[in-house]
Amino acid sequence: MLLLDELDAIAKMRDDRHELGELKRVVNTVIQGLDSLDDQAVVIAATNHPQLLDPAIWRRFPYRCDMTIPGVETRIALWLHFLYGGDISKKHSAEILSQTSTHFTGADIQNIALATRRLALLNGVGLPEAQLLFAISKSQPPNIQFPELAPLKREEKRDLVRRVTSVKGVSKTALAKILQVSRKMVSENAQEKPS
């Protein structure tokens, strides 16, 4: 089995006018290498830029799989795995994180979850879930914001409640637990529009 990650780095279109002749030789070598593999070989390639690949490369791969943004259930599983180490008792928290990270890739979730765990471990504190939720609400992928340990100000909590409760299906009880506020506070602030 052979995995070629970032295939576009060595298999760009050969008619690219901005590239030198060396690119054509590299692409030809890749094609010859793929053609010389026996029938037992399994070749998997990955790219973030499929539009850049040479058509001759595409012909060597009969199956294609587009990896899109993960759905809600996958995001829940990712948060449970990377942030909570598989602790199923944290499912309600993972659901809220999932519902607020709709535009995050799996790699985005992994990066921010591991950064959050690292922050907690290095500072000898519990997971800063409120700060994580605040960072997620302020992120615009691919620009991800990471949580800080500073406690959220009252207005930041109110704004966060407004943002998060505007997402359909968010549990106000679970949100109150993450933010360490009363459910009444969540209900009252949920009615207002986010700033």
Q: Are residues 83 and 153 in the same domain?
A: yes
Q: Are residues 54 and 128 in the same domain?
A: no
Q: Are residues 76 and 164 in the same domain?
A: yes
Give the total number of structural domains in the chain: 2
Q: Are residues 127 and 155 in the same domain?
A: yes
Is 67 within the bounds of a domain? no
Local structure of 166: helix, strand or coil: coil
**How far is residue 45's CA from residue 58's CA, in Å, rounded to a whole number?**
10
Is 65 within the bounds of a domain? no
Local structure of 154: helix, strand or coil: helix
Q: Are residues 14 and 109 in the same domain?
A: no
Q: Are residues 155 and 112 in the same domain?
A: yes
Is 79 within the bounds of a domain? yes
The residue count for the chain = 195
Q: Are residues 15 and 100 in the same domain?
A: no
What are the pLDDT digits (tens) for 105-139?
Answer: 999 999 999 999 999 999 999 999 999 999 999 99
Q: Are residues 184 and 143 in the same domain?
A: yes
Q: What pLDDT, on the 0 to 100 scale, is given for residue 194?
A: 57
0.85 cut: is pTM over it?
no
Q: Mean pLDDT score of the chain, rounded to an integer?
A: 91
Q: Are residues 174 and 106 in the same domain?
A: yes
Confidence of residue 22 (pLDDT cuts 50, 70, 90): confident
Q: Mean pLDDT throughout 7-25?
A: 79
Containing domain of residue 179, as a range?
72-190
Q: Are residues 14 and 95 in the same domain?
A: no
| Cβ–Cβ under 8 Å, residues 95 and 76 | yes
